[in-house]
Amino acid sequence: MNHEMISIPFPENLRKRGFFVLEGIDGSGKSTQFQKLCAWFQSKKLLHTCLIEPKLDGTGKILREKFMDDKQLTAEEELNMILLDRSEDVVQNINPAIEAGKIILMDRYIYSNAVYQGVRLGAAYVLNENIKRQFPFPEKTFLFDLPEEQALERISQRGHAITYFEKISFLTDARKIYLNLIKWDKNIEIINANAPQHMIFEQLQEKMTALLKTQ
């Protein structure tokens, strides 16, 4: 496991305004807030698109099936499949939304990749693979931070078998990398995922309202 400081420079030329991502370890509650924010954008009649990675179709669907079956892909196989899925997503969804001036909200993106594959490959290596492909980076990332023990407790209540990514040792390493990313990207903001859902949503509404005023 590698927790080295990320020495490669952040690619400011790839940062895109109006592009927002929710990140966090499994069980942090980010997907619930993602759905709430998407519904809020809709109620406000804002021009937007809401996206999830891995995608629900194409390469992303295959990848999700492999993760849920807990098939042990090598780290390189995981990375290659994720980069292919992201290439499809950028071409089909993300770049067209940027060009159309839409707000983009994503549930997981490059930083999930840097964390979940970075546990075995190193976060800097994974980030550099994304940068080489010129994938756009978000204007703002909200990192839902929760102690791994509490995350595992939430995961165990879902009623499905615990996958490799949901074991306590992996969650511990993943959280450390997420927190290390804050030192690399100044536009990552921590959200206390231990707060009540309604308070988190109110906080996100306030932050998004302020961000959208600058667009």
pLDDT digits (tens, 9 = 90+) for 117-133: 999 999 999 999 999 99
Q: Return the half-sphere exposure (C-beta side, CA atoms, 13 A cut-off) of residue 48.
A: 23
3-state SS of the chain is CCCCCCCCCCCHHHEEEEEEEEEECCCCCHHHHHHHHHHHHHHCCCCEEEEECCCCCHHHHHHHHHHHCCCCCCHHHHHHHHHHHHHHHHHHHHHHHHHCCCEEEEECCHHHHHHHCHHHHCHHHHHHHHHHCCCCEEEEEEEEECCHHHHHHHHHCCCCCCCHHHCHHHHHHHHHHHHHHCCCCCCEEEEECCCCHHHHHHHHHHHHHHHHCCC
Q: Assess whether pLDDT exceeds 80 at residue 63.
A: no
pLDDT of 1: 45
Per-position b or e across 38-54, b if 16+ CB within 10 A of its CB: bebbeeeeeebbbbbbb
Q: Which amino acid is at 53?
A: E
Return mean pLDDT, the chain: 90
In a domain, 11, yes or no: no
Q: What is the pLDDT of residues 4-27, one digit of tens each?
A: 678 899 999 999 999 999 999 988
Q: How far apart are CA 133 and CA 11, in angstroms?
A: 12
Q: Of 18-22, 99-103, 148-152, where does mean pLDDT reach its minimum?
A: 148-152
**What is the tally of structural domains in the chain?**
1
Q: Domain containing 22: what range?
A: 16-212
Q: Is 9 part of a structural domain of the chain?
A: no
Quote the CA–CA distance of 200 and 43 in Å, as a whole number.
18
Mean pLDDT of 64-84: 80
Q: How far does CA 147 lie from the centroid of its chain?
A: 17
Name the pTM for this structure.
0.91
* CB 98 within 8 Å of CB 104: yes
Q: What is the largest CA-CA distance in the chain?
A: 45
- Indicate whether 135 belongs to any domain: yes
How sure is the predictor about 54, in pLDDT bands with cuts at 50, 70 and 90? confident
Q: In this structure, is residue 8 part of a structural domain?
A: no
**200-213: pLDDT as tens digits:** 999 999 999 999 99
Q: Is residue 6 part of a domain?
A: no
24-48 per-position pLDDT tens digit: 998 899 999 999 999 999 999 999 9
Interval 145-150 mean pLDDT: 90
CB burial of 104-116 (b: ≥16 within 10 Å; e: otherwise) equals bbbbbbbbbbbbb
Q: Is residue 94 part of a domain?
A: yes
- The CATH number of residue 203's host domain is 3.40.50.300
Residue 1 lies in a domain: no
Residue 122 lies in a domain: yes
- Please write the tens of the pLDDT for every residue from 156-203: 777 655 666 767 888 899 999 999 999 999 999 999 999 999 999 999
